[in-house]
Amino acid sequence: MIKLFKSLWGRFLFQGRGILPTKRLLVSFVIFSSGISLSTIWGISWTFVILANILFFLASLVDLLQSPKKKELSFKRAIPEEMERRLTYSVKIEMKNSSVHASRFQFVDGIPQSFHKNFPVKGWARNQSTTVVTYDVEAPVRGKYRIDKLYVRYSSLLHLWEKQTTVVLEDVVKVIPDLTETKHYLENAQRFLMAEGVKVRKHKSGVGEFTKVRSYVVGDDPRKINWRQTAKLQEVMTNEYEPEHGKYITILIDCGRMMGAELKKGNRLEKVLEAAITVAAAALKKGDYVSVLAFSKDVKFFVPAAKGTGHLQKILQALYDVEVDANESNYAAVFNYLQTVQNKRSLLVLFSDIGTFLHEESGLVYVKRLRQKHLFLMIGMEDETMSTTAKIEPINSQKAMVKSIAQQQIRLKNKEKNRWERQGLQMVEVKEERLATAAVSYYIDIMNRGLL
């Protein structure tokens, strides 16, 4: 009995196959039955009332003959293979009706529950024609999802009875990090970095590779004027240089417990992934070699160094479904592993929680050892709650105590940061919305100054 009830309830939830009465039929039946029942006041027998209700019900079944058969309908789904997190995409459902009858329909797609969508989607299909219906969907959680079913209800134009069927349509969707900031950088690097005050062409004088000769403009270094071309063309020409290509960049992504802290949109790991991909895109665009390593208690994955914009897709496929672990980050283990896989001198860009890192004294030994061969840069996000608390008005003793504790924690963190930076380990904390911009800015600054 319970199994039968679940089966019937599932049909009302667009599950399984079957035939269901519509709201129009139920309302019509109630009105007809009420009207015919009232006629008993004038002496009409209840036998006639019951027979009339049965005849009305049987007549409504004719509606089923005016709707298409299951084999006369076919469906296709067009959905992007990759979706960026929290961006809206359109999904198309194509319904081919080869029947001589037009049909109303509504469907619920087998989209995962974590997706934001609005179902059921309604429409109508002409006879012997193809109808395309579009709906919007948004995926807030990264990962790989399998979509294999489409739940459809269809009826005739009278819409008294609905036939229900489940169509098997298999698709696989990968939800990757939001690449909006990466696209902004690739489209216009100078505009992307303008907020940080970084000039893409700014570099240390005398450092870099010669690229081309161009016309002199106000602000160029007079020492770079190409006098031979100037005399030849009768126009002041200057040499243009850019940082050397082919450097090695290693991006380290912390996936430990502290990276699960919630922010305004998503958590820390989500912002770190977006920033890491942007840095990787910037480095690959400039011809550098990029490798990526994700870790928590142990190393989760390592993408060996390679160059070319095609390598960005390989990095995306490796980290699109990485998640936060409940374990503390083991910095010593990852630095020890890094010594075995990265033999070339490289810029190590570590995205992590600086507060947690400062308490790992065991990691200092490995970092000092890495510092002898590599250049180290650590980027973290400011604790907005701590910063806000340190600025509150001490209107009473309790708030004054809370403010003093917050200020004390900030001073202790700055003291520890200074101690590490004296060892040659650069640490930066920025606001969450500026993480990607700041990371790319520091990378470009280091490359332009020839520090690597």
Residues 236, 265 within the same domain: no
Mean pLDDT for 270-295 is 92
Residues 380, 444 within the same domain: yes
Structure tokens at 44: 């009409």
DSSP letter for each residue of 254-272:
E-SGGGG-B-SSSBHHHHH
Nearest to 159 by CA among 121, 120, 103: 103
Give the range of the structural domain holding residue 167, as residue numbers without chain letter.
70-176
Residues 344, 359 within the same domain: yes
Tell me if 184 is assigned to some domain: no
* 84 neighbors 180 (Cβ within 8 angstroms): yes
Tell me if 252 is assigned to some domain: yes
Residues 120, 231 within the same domain: no
Tell me if 356 is assigned to some domain: yes
Structure tokens at 170: 């298999």
**Which pLDDT does position 199 carry in this prediction?**
47
Residues 168-206 as b/e (b if ≥16 CB within 10 A, e otherwise) read eeebebbbbbbbebbeebbeebeebbeebebebeebeee
Tell me if 186 is assigned to some domain: no
Query: Which tens digits make up the pLDDT trace of 354-374?
Result: 888 877 766 667 777 778 888
Q: Beta strands 375-381 and 426-430: pairing type?
A: parallel
Mean pLDDT for 297-315 is 90
Query: Which tens digits make up the pLDDT trace of 237-257?
Result: 888 766 566 789 999 999 988
Boundary (domain end) residue, out of 149, 176, 203: 176
CATH number at residue 358: 3.40.50.410
Residues 225, 302 within the same domain: no
DSSP letter for each residue of 72-100:
GEEEEEE--SEEETT-EEEEEEEEEE-SS
Residues 272, 234 within the same domain: no
Query: Which tens digits make up the pLDDT trace of 78-105?
Result: 999 999 999 999 999 999 999 888 888 8
Q: Which has more pLDDT, 366 or 318?
A: 318
Helix (H) or strand (E) holding 240: strand 237-242
Chain centre to alpha carbon of residue 174? 10
Residue 187 confidence class, pLDDT cut points 50, 70, 90:
confident
Residues 253, 293 within the same domain: yes
Tell me if 50 is assigned to some domain: no
Residues 262, 396 within the same domain: yes
* 342 neighbors 392 (Cβ within 8 angstroms): no
**Which pLDDT does position 251 carry in this prediction?**
95
Q: Which has more pLDDT, 269 or 37?
A: 269
Share of the chain above pLDDT 70, in %: 89
Boundary (domain end) residue, out of 148, 176, 204: 176
Query: Which tens digits make up the pLDDT trace of 214-231?
Result: 888 777 778 888 888 888
Residues 227, 282 within the same domain: no
End-to-end CA distance of the chain: 74
Query: Which tens digits make up the pLDDT trace of 129-155?
Result: 999 999 999 999 999 999 999 999 988
Residue 279 confidence class, pLDDT cut points 50, 70, 90:
very high
Structure tokens at 446: 């280091």
Residues 424, 276 within the same domain: yes
- DSSP secondary structure code for residue 13 in this structure: T
Share of the chain above pLDDT 90, in %: 25
**Which pLDDT does position 201 carry in this prediction?**
43
How many domains, in total, are found in the chain? 3
Tell me if 341 is assigned to some domain: yes
Tell me if 151 is assigned to some domain: yes
Residues 233, 367 within the same domain: no
Tell me if 95 is assigned to some domain: yes
Peptide bond into 120 cis (omega under 30): yes
Any residues with CB less than 8 A from the CB of 52 and at least 6 apart, and which?
Answer: 32, 36
3-state DSSP of 281-341: HHHHHCCCEEEEEEECCCEEEEEEEECCCCHHHHHHHHHCCCCCCCCCCCHHHHHHHHHHH
Other Cβ atoms less than 10 A from the Cβ of 326: the count is 9
Residues 347, 419 within the same domain: yes
Burial of 4 (0-12, 13-18, 19+ CB in 10 A): exposed
DSSP letter for each residue of 343-359:
-S-EEEEEES-HHHHHT
CATH number at residue 148: 2.60.40.10
